């Protein structure tokens, strides 16, 4: 007689129909559900990280830009035309202070490059303000000398 696998089967043969109320084997579905839960947890974790990074970047950028505007405003109102170094130091301190507290080093590096660019632009703007002040002081001194010379034509530059 041929060797059929069902003759050597160890399972019990039965003629009963399975009951619709009988529990079925759910191990495959449970493994799949656990995988989906893990996948959802990973997605939620990534979204949370992205949201946290965005909050940190936005806060740091807002603080940096507000600080830069304050520094530029004070530099414009400063009567001393030789005081630009003070504001350059403040810009560097502002840049380094706003790079603190980032959890992700990649985001910190992105913000560092953006702050480097913005701080350099701010330094150029402050430098231009102080150049204008220097020119204005030079013009005022020249006008003052011309007034003195016009009042007393016998005065030489050495007398002034």
50 in a structural domain? yes
124 in a structural domain? yes
Segment 71-110, tens digit of pLDDT = 999 988 888 878 888 999 999 999 999 988 888 889 999 9
Query: How many domains does the chain contain in total?
Result: 1
Q: Give the domain extent around 147.
A: 34-159
Count of other CB atoms within 10 angstroms of residue 76: 14
Q: Give pLDDT, residue 116.
A: 93
104 in a structural domain? yes
Integer Cα distance of 129 and 125 in angstroms:
6
116 in a structural domain? yes
63 in a structural domain? yes
Question: pLDDT grade, residue 131 (50/70/90)?
Answer: confident
3 in a structural domain? no
26 in a structural domain? no
Q: Measuring CA to CA, how many Å separate 62 from each of 12, 55, 57, 100?
A: 74, 11, 8, 14
11 in a structural domain? no
Segment 34-58, tens digit of pLDDT = 667 777 788 888 899 899 999 999 9
């Amino acid at each position: 007689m041929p060797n059929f696998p069902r003759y050597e089967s160890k399972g019990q043969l039965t003629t009963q129909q399975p009951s619709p109320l009988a529990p079925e084997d759910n191990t495959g579905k449970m493994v799949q559900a656990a995988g989906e839960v893990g996948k959802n947890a990973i997605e939620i974790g990534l979204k949370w990280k992205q949201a946290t990074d965005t909050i940190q970047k936005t806060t740091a950028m807002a603080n940096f830009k507000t600080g830069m505007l304050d520094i530029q405003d004070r530099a414009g109102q400063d009567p001393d035309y030789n005081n630009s170094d003070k504001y350059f130091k403040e810009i560097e301190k502002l840049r380094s202070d706003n790079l603190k507290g980032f959890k992700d080093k990649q985001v910190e590096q992105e913000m560092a490059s953006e702050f480097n660019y913005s701080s350099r632009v701010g330094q150029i703007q402050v430098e231009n303000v102080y150049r204008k002040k220097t020119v204005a002081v030079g013009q005022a001194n020249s006008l003052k000398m011309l007034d003195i010379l016009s009042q007393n034509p016998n005065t030489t530059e050495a007398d002034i």
